[in-house]
Amino acid sequence: MIKAGIIGGAGYTAGELVRILTYHPQVKLDFVYSTSRPGTPVSGVHQDLIGEIDLLFSGEINTEVDVVFLCLGHGNSVKFLAENKFSKNTKIVDLSTDFRMDGNHDFVYGLPEFKKDAIKTANFIANPGCFATAISLAILPLAKAKKVEDEWHVNAVTGATGAGVSLSATTHFTWRDNNFSAYKSFEHQHLNEIGQSLKWLQPDFDATVNFIPNRGNFSRGIHATAYTKFTGSLEEAKAIYTEQYKDAAFTFVTEENIHLKQVVNTNKCLLKLEKFGDKLLITSVIDNLLKGASGQAVQNMNLIFGLPEDSGLHLKASYF
């Protein structure tokens, strides 16, 4: 059994990790570390687990676990790892932005559909952002085929859980209910990792990714549409995407119209391609807390430890 620990246990992504790892056939959850709730039941915060686990939040860290997941606020993972040293055999999966960009570190960008071989031999994984996952899976196959000819235009909407568990004016029910808004237009932080991935796959790409993120009045999920100029046929584009994802455990190209209820509560990404004149449109849907965070983190863990990629991730969509 793989012995796992979670750092920063009270947020949404940690709650999803606890749920997945509790039922993972090859994992024993050793500790869930929290500085604010040590000694209190994990199920007191993550109440979907009442009756499922009797684990208490820990005020101490077992530095000898096989894998540790960092569910800390952005900027805090670097500080935490500077202050806490794990065994040389401990694998680390960081869910913050701290190590996603190339730099002076040994973290591998953990997008399995494009980095599988590197992930399998990695000790440290930088888990991609939620918007970055949905958008990258939509646009990177074209870049890998060296077929991106022009700038991208992306519009995506995320649920309230994308803002994290801490309350703010724009996550309060009275603000979100019957409401919709754009934010961080053209400057969202996930643009950096999307651009980096595009450059990895198509080094001569020098156009812009125009991204408008939106807040939706629902709890979870991301619905993204991306379009760009494409002089090839729709059949050519579909062939590129079908080839890229033919062996993917969770990413599927479909002819059906797609919507959030098909993926919420799963680790899936669904993609649909359409052609309008000289524009190729790709629609992408994921669960922001699973494929966009904790599910993908476990998918990366499975790859590192040589397990089937979908171990512990056979999850049913909340369709009804």
Active site residues: 130
Spatial strand order in the sheet of 209-215 = 181-182, 209-215, 152-158, 222-229, 279-286, 269-276, 251-253
Largest interatomic CA distance in the chain = 61
C-alpha 295/C-alpha 287 separation (Å) is 9
Sort strands 124-126 and 269-276 into parallel, antiparallel or unpaired. unpaired
C-alpha 284/C-alpha 306 separation (Å) is 28
What distance lies between CA 292 and its chain's CA centroid? 2
Residue 3, both tokens: 């012995």
How does 197-206 read in b/e, with b if 16+ C-beta sit within 10 Å? bbebbbeebe
